[in-house]
Amino acid sequence: MKDDIKHDEFGPKKILDVYDSKTKMRGFVVIDNITLGPGKGGIRMTPTVTVKEVFRLARAMTWKCALAELPFGGAKSGIIADDKVISKEQKKAIVEAFARALKPVCPSMYVAAPDMNMSEEEMKWFAEANGSMKACTGKPADMGGIPHELGSTGFGVYHATLAALEHVGIDVKGATVAVEGFGNVGSFVAKYLSEAGAKIVAVSDSKGVIYNKDGLDFKKLRKVKDETRAVKNYKPGEVLPNEKIFELAVDVLIPAALPDVITEKNVDKVKAKIISQGANIPIPHDIEKVLHKKGVLVVPDFVANAGGVISSYVEYIGGKPEQMFKEVEERIKRNTKLVLEKAKEKNICPRDAAMEIAKDRVKKAMKK
């Protein structure tokens, strides 16, 4: 499994295979690069998670942490288990066995966090079994955690979007916005942008899209979603199929849910002026280049959605929610502006500019 992972000057530094005979726990950790600090990255639990998948995510964390100017490197881990078929007791035993197995590297070289099928309860088990509160972030508030419900990622995407609007000379007041996904990222982006005066004209969830060219009332939309579990029940508005949200003529499109939503199949139908990526990999990298040639400004995922890892850093140093909001705003604003200015100056797509900045920061630290 490790044979198809190609090492380069950045890493990976360590790949650990862990197994516990008592619980039948099988998992692995990829510590990619720890030049800037311990590797930061979540634990995902799925029956199909692979070392290669975890390595790709660990490398993405190396760039995300470097770009956010955090004293963290990149890492990620996976546990092979089906969350839907094991009991809570089995899951707890597996997470605890995983945490104990990682004592030699955690938290000195690896700081964990919740990812797929993991939450603050699992982080509580992990920290207690590992024996260090610094072993992971995403813990419950009574253990010093900063709750996910505060919407740090969405708050960061909001500030990245403000920087992008300013970059192209569009006033946020009256700017039209479409948000794909009304979960923990999309709902907060919609909230903050509507409060800033933007006009949210379309929002989607798994059941469909609600569209109103005159704008949607966020508070009313939030109530409809909470009560009916579907944004399409908002009135007045036109219900559209999910794929149509990517074709609307808006100032800003925010993909904040699924990967690979804009591909070669629909890239020619995109009419947005700015795409601010709330989700991870919502657009393949080669398609971002196509959009760049079309004149669409794309703020890459690891630039726009770094609010979550910045929040993790504030938790790691014992900070409070107020400090988290301040750090997210300052770091995302500063680095989005830096990326967009570099992209414009060199006439390259923003992802290439962001990668140049992130790689340069890691290389400089490696030389030291």
3-state per-residue secondary structure call for 106-147: CCCCEEECECCCCCHHHHHHHHHHHCCHHHECCCCHHHCCCC
Active site residue 76: yes
Write out the H or E segment, with its range, that includes residue 22: none
How far is it, in rounded angstroms, from Cα 201 to Cα 299? Answer: 20
Query: β-strands 14-20, 199-205: how paired?
Result: unpaired
Query: Kind and range of the H or E element at 314?
Result: helix 307-316
| Contact in structure between 102 and 18 (CB atoms under 8 Å) | yes
Label residue 138 left, alpha or beta by phi (over 0 means left) and psi (-120 to 50 means alpha): left
What is residue 224's DSSP assignment?
H
List, in sequence order, every residue forming a beta bridge with 275; answer none if it has no partner: 253, 298
| Strand 176-180 to 199-205 pairing | parallel
Annotated active-site residue in 76, 124, 225, 244: 76
Residue spans of beta strands (DSSP E) within the chain: 14-20, 25-33, 39-40, 43-46, 73-80, 110-111, 176-180, 199-205, 208-211, 238-240, 252-255, 274-276, 297-299
As a whole number of angstroms, the distance between CA 85 and CA 91 comes to: 10
Helices 152-168, 186-195: crossing angle, 10 deg rounding: 50
For 185, the token pair is 């990222």
Q: Distance (Å, rounded) from C-alpha 252 to C-alpha 235?
A: 22
Examine residue 300 and say whether the peptide bond preceding it is cis (omega within 30 degrees of 0): no
Residues with active-site annotation: 76
